[in-house]
Amino acid sequence: MTKDKKGDTLNPELKQRVDSVINRIAAAFNDKLGEDEILGIATSFLKDERDLAVPFIDTLTTEARPEMAQLLYDMMDGVQDKSLIKLIKKSLYKLRQRGVKWEEKYKDDSPIFKPMKSDEPEGYVGDIDNTGSRIVIVTRNTPRGFLVAFSIINDLEGLQELDLHQFSKKGFKDFLDSSMSSVDFPIVEAEGAYCVSLLKETASFSKNLSKPLPNGYNDFEIEFEDIEWGHAYPIIYHYISEDEIKNNPRLLKESGDLHKIAPFFSWFIDPKELKEYIETIDELRNSRIFLTPEQKEERLHTIYSDALEALFPEEKKLVWKRRLEETAYILFKTGKKSEARQALSAAINLKNPFSPIEPNPFIWNLLLKSIYSQFEEDSPENAKEGEPSLIIAP
């Protein structure tokens, strides 16, 4: 962002991100969502897009509406940066001069002695591995000490493990840094309420599968029974709006390249699910019937297309959609914001039927690399002359 005498100019892409959040806030007001939820959208944006804080506050100020002024006023409690607090106060002064009013909230006198309460939880989530498993951690400072709920969840098999431990805060931080997170499978912070909701959601899934819950789950429910997430969508949509993604088709096309980075390069379809298609391809490769390379390629494409439809019914597409959404959050929090948007684009596209001409690039390449991995001994370098590669573009 640069300044001149005429005011601020903002990169179009950055302006789009600011406008996207402003539109979400306006829509939230129109939908009469709660003040805390709307405030959460604004403060999350300030926290994760610090370079856009000034134009964001300036844009809110141009909305000379009482609810926007109230939002600015309430935001001061969640802002640590003194320069931003000063900017908000200056903006509110301008709004007051224009006749805009808001409620200034004063704290009531509190008793000197208050019973100790548990703090709001903090959370951490890890990447999803090839089996659909991931680590979810929830911590909470309680009157009895610093409590840590360590869990492993699986999106196909439910809640695998959940144990509660007492740590010192420093001991937990050292444990997290030294034993849990890695470059390829990082663990990042997430809102504690969201992590609690993930565990409750997975526990419910386990019950639907008639699978017993880990011994520690009952204690976990008691410790975190007062915590509610209050949203029906994954946390990534607090940072990237669906409208922003849907209006950029280039992101979907680029999603096919995500398999080059972690954790996607380790994701494969279960070979057992591919068995009949592997056998059909093997028969085609070893057939004594003469087929031109073009005919073989056409036949391969038909096999792949049939596999795509059979292996990804609606319920399976929802599983992969959620995996992409959750991984997009990890990418976003680790600074890979372009890749996060590509992953989210592939996820959103999974709500639609597969296109016969250009199927979802991420899922298409997932299918192809999973099949190709079964034929590694017949690599392209060793393929017979004139025989088409197993990997073909959609």
**Residue with the two structure tokens 């007001």:** 29
Q: Are residues 276 and 330 in the same domain?
A: yes
Predicted pLDDT of residue 34? 67
The answer to whether the peptide bond before residue 263 is cis (omega within 30 degrees of 0) is: yes
Residue 115 located in a structural domain: no
Are 203 and 170 members of one domain?
A: yes
Crossing angle (nearest 10°) for helices 271-286 and 293-311: 160
In a domain, 110, yes or no: no
pLDDT at 83: 80
Q: Report the half-sphere exposure of 126 (CA within 13 A, side-chain side).
A: 25
Residues 286 and 372 in one domain: yes
Structure tokens at 217: 């789950």
CA 128 to chain centroid, in Å, comes to 11
Contact between 199 and 228 under an 8 Å Cβ cutoff? The reply is: no
| Angle CA 42–231–345, to nearest 5 | 80
List helix spans (H) across 209-292: 217-223, 242-246, 249-254, 271-286
Give me the torsion for CA of 9, 12, 50, 98, rounded to 10°. Answer: 50
The amino acid present at 292, given as its one-letter code, is T
- State how far the Cα of 169 lies from the Cα of 175, in Å rounded to an integer: 10
- Asked whether residue 372 falls in the same domain as residue 259, the answer is yes
- In single-letter form, the type of residue at position 205 comes to F
**Res. 113: pLDDT tops 50:** no
Q: How many domains does the chain have?
A: 3
Q: What's the pLDDT at 88? A: 85
Q: Where among 183, 199, 232 does a domain terminate?
A: 232
The pLDDT score that the predictor gives to residue 267 is 96
For position 114, what pLDDT does the model report?
A: 45
Domain membership flag for residue 210: yes
* pLDDT single digits (tens) 310-342: 999 999 999 999 999 999 999 999 999 999 999
Beta bridge partners of 153: 134, 159
Tell me, yes or no, whether 180 and 290 share the same domain.
no
Does the residue 237 lie in any domain?
no
Q: Do 9 and 81 share a structural domain?
A: yes
**Do residues 184 and 137 share a domain?**
yes
Kindly state whether residues 320 and 372 are assigned to the same domain.
Answer: yes
Query: How far is Cα 184 from Cα 264, in angstroms, rounded to an integer?
Result: 10
Look at the pTM and tell me if it is higher than 0.75. no
Q: Where are the alpha helices (DSSP H) in 49-165?
A: 53-62, 66-75, 82-97
State the residue range of the domain holding 69: 2-97
In a domain, 387, yes or no: no
For residues 273 and 226, give the distance between their C-alpha atoms in angstroms, rounded to a whole number.
Answer: 42
Distance of CA 86 to the CA centre of its chain: 33
Tell me what pLDDT residue 10 has.
Answer: 67
Which amino acid, 214? P
Is the model's pLDDT at 109 over the cut of 60? no
Interacting residues of 17 by C-beta distance below 8 A, sequence separation 6+? 49, 52, 244
**What pLDDT, in 10s, does the model give residues 148-184?**
999 999 999 999 999 999 988 888 888 888 777 777 7
Sign of CA dihedral 324, 330, 331, 332: positive
| Mean pLDDT along residues 214-239 | 92
